[in-house]
Amino acid sequence: MNIYDLTIHELKDKIAAGEMTPAEIKKAFADRINDVEDRVKSYITVTDELAENGLADYENKKDGLLAGIPIAVKDNMSTDGIKTSCASKMLKNYKPPYDATAVKKLNEAGAVIMGKTNMDEFAMGSSTENSAFFNTHNPWNLDRAPGGSSGGSAAAVAAGECAAALGSDTGGSIRQPASYCGVVGLKPTYGMVSRYGLVAFASSLDQIGPITKDVEDSAILMNVIAGHDPKDSTSIEGKKEDYTEYLKEDVSGMKIGIPEEYFNLDFDKDVKESVLSAVEKLKEAGAEVETVHMTDASYALAAYYVIAPAEASSNLARYDGVRYGLRSEHAADISEMFTNTRHEGFGDEVKRRIMIGTYALSSGYYDAYYLKAQKVRTLIKDDFDRIFNDFDLIITPTAPTTAIELGSNSDPLEMYYTDIFTVPINIAGVPAMSVPCGFDSKEMPIGLQLIGPHFGEGKIIQAAYTLEKLLDISNKRAEL
Amino acid sequence: MIDKKDVEYAAGLAQLKLDEEEKEKYTEQIGEILDYVDKLSELDTDDVVPTAYTVPMKNVLRKDEVQESLPREKSLANAPDKKDGQFRAPKIMSD
Amino acid sequence: MSTKYETVIGLEVHVQLNTDSKIFCGCSTEFGKEPNENTCPVCLGLPGTLPVLNKKAVDYAIMAGLALNCDIAEYSKFDRKNYFYPDLPKAYQISQFDLPVAEDGKIEIETDEGIFNIGVTRVHLEEDAGKLIHEGSIDKSKGSLVDYNRTGVPLIEIVSEPDMRTPAQARAYLTELKMIMEYLEISDCNMEEGSLRCDANVSLRPVGQEEFGTKAELKNMNSFSAVEKGLEYEVKRQREILEEGGEVVQETRTWDESLNKTISMRGKEEAHDYRYFPEPDLVPLEIDEAWKEEMRKEIPELPREKYKRFVSELGLPEYDAGVLTGEKDMAVFFEEVLKDYTDPKNLSNWMMGEFLRLLNENNHSPFESGVTPLNLAKMLKLIDQDVISGKIAKEVFEKMYNSGNDPETIVESEGLKQISDEDELENIVDGIIEANPDAVEDVQSGKDRAIGFLVGQVMKETRGKANPGLVNQMLRDKLMD
């Protein structure tokens, strides 16, 4: 195996055994970026200087959990003095004067930060095609999308352009690209990872999480980034655990629910078969699997497409050209400056969502849309709580299909539908992970979604780890 | 049903300039999306309390202590236009 | 026959809370720093930043709510008020919409026309915006400059019921609010510096009509007199329109101090569709009994109660009580003196006379002068015990004010003690009798007034130190036996 194919824990072992130095590792990944980046295009910014700094500081941080490990960061997480564009023209030249808490924690753990990854503009999209700059290509098939919005992070991990990456997930933006790119993506419980410094899309749904080559790396990365942050009022105190404690091959007695309403949705046959066959393996390994009944996921999707745009319309109002970012040069007065800046700076999907959200919050419609959606949110959350009274985990597919062809989908509503399995999880605030469970007839990876109760990351990791061993596919890499 | 006037109104509130083509397009697309969203009305939520916070928390407060501010150059570093330590913006009133 | 109109006024008062740090970040709230010196990623609204609520701001809002006799919310939350303006970095203001910290209170005010209760609709917390300076005049300016130092300074907005019927009542209400805030020590309440700001809703309706007339919102009244003058102008303007059979337009108007009139904010009215929704970056507040009690203990006796007590228990004239309670330190000083002195009226005369004169001359607040409450009490007792005369006391007091010394020391070292020793006065009195035969004759022929002249001569001779009562008695003994 090549160095760039190795996982975090494998690289750590090699460093510990003296078989490799962090400098060699960094060089191997940098070379890999040089080799494949023109085809994959995962990165908006390759931060070689930042990586060198991390490396130079290695001796001080060698006890850190990520000492000398090359990590990529989605370009919506603030990095001090380094462009943080959110793949938008609006922030093309914006350099934050501070680090996001998650980035700070990576640095403290000794990570070597390789670059900032491509994404859908302001994390709005499911294919990374909404990046204002360029498309990212799926390493398993360069004609296909990597998924989104954390498409750059998922592709970078799958292509060996980093050992692991951080993504953000508002309605599936970590899990769906992880599924498309054949890697592991975890969206933690809302509040487990600080959002401080994560450029907000929908504040009540956004979470940062790891995208990794295997489940063990996910646990390691969670150990680094999870935990209370006084700078984020919604960050939870006292729930952080050592997630590597859950790396056990054991699902005996674990109760797993299979929601019939989700499996009855219209989705790809290969995906369905692959997920159900993986469930069968867990059953053989001792898990108790039962069919459960839940509210139709389409209600969660409908609620999501009110709540997320409403919050976004407010979160993205600050891009007005006064303090940072783009300012239109065509402006006789402040009002023209506002409208022209926002016209020139935002892409089509971002404008569409700002429009929906503004409309849903506007006078006379608040009750019918926003308030109604918040009430449905209660029903969905209660629904998950009810299942988790009796079950440890729920399993669904991560996405209705494998990776779509680049440029194949231009209808917004159809695109939104690709989030049908992932959105309810953000609405309920619970954690969920996408793990690779097989390949379709075109040899594209399929992801299975494990959903846990609030703070159920440990159980998810344990079941996913077991499944990974049973399926024995985590060593398979995209060929480039 | 959303019409072009609604789209224009929302665009005004959101300070988005839309050309005619965009207005037509958004009226149609947002209409479709809101049609889909209308399925929410199938659920009875009369006695349901809205959820704004999925993990119930309360009273997250900090002490009244002064922390260091940013050096002024850093606060102004990203400003598209600045003057005398202030952000400069076009005039407020139109002629 | 002409219709009689009644004025209806409601006030929205913004009070800056004097916390050390801002409401949602750790930047200092200090006034008068260089532009943008008190800013950080949070108050600049940089992408990715999040607010964390300052507990002291909540404490102060609860105190204000309690002092205004409001119900304190058991459950309160923050909402976003969305609108674009260059001084608002996030393009939304974190405020409170449907669940403010306090609701449904009232305060008592007094004007020449009597005593009135003014309802307080609500008290809510919010963040202040930045400061916008127009380059040149607002009409001809090429641009505007923004300073975000003030952004995020905690504010409470106090909304009154439309209970005021005259501009004088509005002024009295505002004055009472200011005094209450000062007594609570939660704000500097400086209208010139903008730590107290007042907007008004004004309308007229025919007397007897229940329904409100169309209102104008009045802004930019930057002093107490501007509030009264602006309202008076606006009432007159609306009355003239109505009397001519016209209709008042609902609009925002600004008070122009130099023109002495209100001006329409011509057509620049944005649609007020603020799209409030719960602020997802902050969690709700639950204010339990214990928290409320803790805050209640922080509330001192408030100006109106103190005023009433000074009148009823201390027997002070209403005027005196008003002056003494008008400023918290004045009242506190007064009561400190009373711990060592028993005649409130005598003390009140001194405080409102000599003391206030010197304080005004020196631009001091009571505790900034050299006079301590204890020393003032001592001085008053020296007068009462005839150790010094009232006239000499003024001299002593001024020396106390400037030096900080106690009155005994001053009286001793300056030799200002009253002469109450008959032996010591005997020769002087005899000398005056000898030197003023005409006056003596007048006295002896029954012209009692002439005795005053002789006393005055003795006082002059002793440079004011003679005990005038004793001198009077001695003269009578000598001339009228």
| Total of domains in chain C | 3
Q: Do B91 and A334 touch (CB under 8 A)?
A: yes
Burial class of residue A142 (count of CB atoms within 10 Å of its CB; 0-12, 13-18, 19+):
middle
Separation CA A52–CA C74 (nearest Å)? 53
List chains touching A (3+ CB pairs under 8 A): B, C
Determine which of A203-212, A274-283, B17-26, C51-60 has the lowest per-residue pLDDT on average.
B17-26
Q: What is the pLDDT of residue C414?
A: 81
How many CB atoms are located within 10 Å of the residue C71 CB?
A: 12
Q: Clarify whether residues C210 and C67 are in a common domain.
A: yes
Distance from CA of B31 to the nearest CA of A (A): 9
Separation CA A46–CA C361 (nearest Å)? 68
Distance from CA of B11 to the nearest CA of C (A): 13
Q: Clarify whether residues C327 and C221 are in a common domain.
A: no
Q: Is residue A74 annotated as part of the catalytic site, yes or no?
A: yes
Region class of C332: left (phi > 0), else alpha (psi between -120 and 50), else beta: alpha
* Strands (DSSP E) found in A341-403: 393-397
Which regions of chain C are under pLDDT 50? Answer: none
Single out the residue in C239, C263, C292 at which a domain terminates: C292
**Structural domain range at position C306:** 301-414
CATH number corresponding to A3-254: 3.90.1300.10
Q: Do B61 and C54 touch (CB under 8 A)?
A: yes
What is the DSSP-derived secondary structure letter of residue A8?
Answer: H
Q: Do A91 and C282 touch (CB under 8 A)?
A: no
Q: Clarify whether residues C250 and C338 are in a common domain.
A: no
Longest dimension (CA), chain B: 58
CA nearest A454: which of A406, A403, A389, A408?
A: A389
Contact A378, B49 (CB under 8 A): yes
What domains can you pick out in chain B, each with its CATH number?
A: 1-42 (1.10.20)
Q: What is the pLDDT of residue A456?
A: 97
Instruction: Give ∠ CA A285-A290-A294 in degrees, rounded to 5.
Output: 135
Give me chain B's average pLDDT, please: 93
Contact status of B80 with chain C (Cβ, < 8 Å): no
Using a CB-CB cut-off of 8 Å, the residues of chain C touching A233 are 50-53, 281-283
Q: What is the pLDDT of residue C234?
A: 95
Q: How far does chain B reach from its first CA to its final CA, in angstroms? A: 37
Separation CA C475–CA C429 (nearest Å)? 7
CA nearest A480: which of A165, A160, A24?
A: A160
Which of C53, C86, C141 lies nearest to residue B62, judging by beta carbons? Answer: C53
Q: Clarify whether residues C194 and C66 are in a common domain.
A: yes
Q: Residue B95: is its pLDDT beyond 50?
A: no
- Single out the catalytic residue among A85, A126, A168, A173: A173
User: Count of H helices and E strands in chain A?
Assistant: 16, 11
Q: Name the residue with tokens 């405080």.
A: C351
Single out the residue in C246, C274, C292 at which a domain terminates: C292
Q: Would you place residue A410 in the very low, low, confident or very high pLDDT band (cuts 50, 70, 90)?
A: confident
Q: What is the mean pLDDT of residues B1-17?
A: 93
* CA-CA-CA-CA dihedral for C173, C183, C114, C255, to nearest 10: -20
Separation CA C174–CA C228 (nearest Å)? 10
Closest residue in B to A304 (Cα) is B37
Which of C86, C91, C281 lies nearest to residue A317, judging by beta carbons? Answer: C91
Closest residue in B to A381 (Cα) is B54
Q: Is the ipTM here above 0.90? A: yes
CA nearest A420: which of A171, A222, A95, A136?
A: A171
* Count of positions (residues) in chain C: 481
Q: Is A347 helix (H, G, I), strand (E, B) or coil?
A: coil
Closest residue in A to B82 (Cα) is A323
Q: Do B37 and A369 touch (CB under 8 A)?
A: yes
Q: Do A339 and B17 touch (CB under 8 A)?
A: yes
Separation CA C321–CA C352 (nearest Å)? 10
* Count of positions (residues) in chain A: 480
Q: What is the mean pLDDT of residues A21-25?
A: 96
Separation CA A412–CA A79 (nearest Å)? 31
Which whole-number Å values give the CA distances from B45 to A373, A375, C162, in the listed order?
10, 6, 36
Single out the residue in C292, C309, C334 at which a domain terminates: C292
Do strands C277-278 and C71-72 pair parallel, antiparallel, or not at all (unpaired)?
A: unpaired
What is the DSSP-derived secondary structure letter of residue C341?
Answer: -
Separation CA A186–CA A457 (nearest Å)? 9
Q: Clarify whether residues C261 and C352 are in a common domain.
A: no
Separation CA C464–CA C389 (nearest Å)? 8
Instruction: Give ∠ CA A14-A438-A213 in degrees, rounded to 5.
Output: 25
Q: Clarify whether residues C430 and C331 are in a common domain.
A: no
pLDDT, tens digit (0-9, with 9 covering 90-100), for C417-458: 888 888 888 888 899 988 898 888 888 888 878 888 998 888
- Single out the catalytic residue among A74, A104, A105, A187: A74
Residue C276 φ then ψ, to 5°: -55, 135
Contact C49, A198 (CB under 8 A): no
Q: Which residues of A453-468 are buried (b: 16+ CB within 10 A; e: fewer)?
A: bbbbbbbbbbbbbbbb
Contact A225, A106 (CB under 8 A): yes
Of chain A, the percentage scoring pLDDT greater than 90 comes to 95
Using a CB-CB cut-off of 8 Å, the residues of chain C touching A361 are 82, 275-277
Q: What is the pLDDT of residue C445?
A: 84
Using a CB-CB cut-off of 8 Å, the residues of chain A touching C281 are 200, 203, 233-234
Instruction: Spell out the SS3 assignment of A267-288.
Output: CCHHHHHHHHHHHHHHHHCCCE
Contact status of C254 with chain A (Cβ, < 8 Å): no
Contact C53, A233 (CB under 8 A): yes
Residue A387 CA to chain centroid, in angstroms? 25
Query: Which CATH number goes with the domain that contains C437?
Result: 1.10.10.410
Contact B58, C285 (CB under 8 A): yes
Q: What is the mean pLDDT of residues A222-236?
A: 97
Q: What is the pLDDT of residue C140?
A: 64
Q: Do C47 and A323 touch (CB under 8 A)?
A: no
CA nearest B26: which of A416, A311, A302, A412?
A: A412
Separation CA A15–CA A25 (nearest Å)? 9
Contact status of A429 with chain C (Cβ, < 8 Å): no
* Count of positions (residues) in chain B: 95
Name the C residues in 335-394 with CB < 8 Å from any A CB: none
Q: Do C91 and A231 touch (CB under 8 A)?
A: no
Instruction: Spell out the SS3 assignment of C98-164.
Output: CCCCEEEEEEEEEECCEEEEEEEEEEEEEECCCEEEECCCCCCCCEEEEECCCCCCEEEEEEECCCE
Name the A residues in 59-118 with CB < 8 Å from any C CB: 76-78, 84, 86, 91, 94, 96-98, 100
Q: Clarify whether residues C426 and C331 are in a common domain.
A: no
Q: Is residue A173 annotated as part of the catalytic site, yes or no?
A: yes
Which of B6, B74, B92 lies nearest to residue A333, judging by beta carbons? Answer: B92
Using a CB-CB cut-off of 8 Å, the residues of chain C touching B72 are 34, 36-37, 39
Using a CB-CB cut-off of 8 Å, the residues of chain A touching C52 are 230-233
List chains touching C (3+ CB pairs under 8 A): A, B
Q: Clarify whether residues C388 and C461 are in a common domain.
A: no
Residue C471 φ then ψ, to 5°: -60, -45
Residue C261 φ then ψ, to 5°: -150, 170
Q: What is the pLDDT of residue C448?
A: 79
Determine which of A445-449, B67-71, C443-447 has the lowest per-residue pLDDT on average.
C443-447
Q: Do C48 and A196 touch (CB under 8 A)?
A: yes
Contact C7, B38 (CB under 8 A): no
Q: Clarify whether residues C441 and C406 are in a common domain.
A: no
Q: Would you place residue A108 in the very low, low, confident or very high pLDDT band (cuts 50, 70, 90)?
A: very high
Q: Clarify whether residues C318 and C436 are in a common domain.
A: no
pLDDT, tens digit (0-9, with 9 covering 90-100), for A141-188: 999 999 999 999 999 999 999 999 999 999 999 999 999 999 999 999
Q: Clarify whether residues C318 and C441 are in a common domain.
A: no
Q: What is the mean pLDDT of residues A345-355?
A: 96
Q: What is the pLDDT of residue A131?
A: 98
What is the DSSP-derived secondary structure letter of residue C369?
Answer: S
* Strands (DSSP E) found in chain B: 61-62, 82-83, 86-90
Radius of gyration of chain C from its Cα atoms, rounded to whole angstroms:
30
- Single out the catalytic residue among A78, A126, A149, A434: A149
Q: Clarify whether residues C353 and C243 are in a common domain.
A: no
Distance from CA of A319 to the nearest CA of B (A): 10
Residue A252 φ then ψ, to 5°: -65, 130
Q: Is A450 helix (H, G, I), strand (E, B) or coil?
A: strand
Contact A161, A67 (CB under 8 A): no
Q: Is A40 helix (H, G, I), strand (E, B) or coil?
A: helix
* Strands (DSSP E) found in A11-64: 43-46
Residue A71 φ then ψ, to 5°: -125, 145
CA nearest C136: which of C149, C145, C128, C127?
A: C145
Q: Is residue A434 annotated as part of the catalytic site, yes or no?
A: no
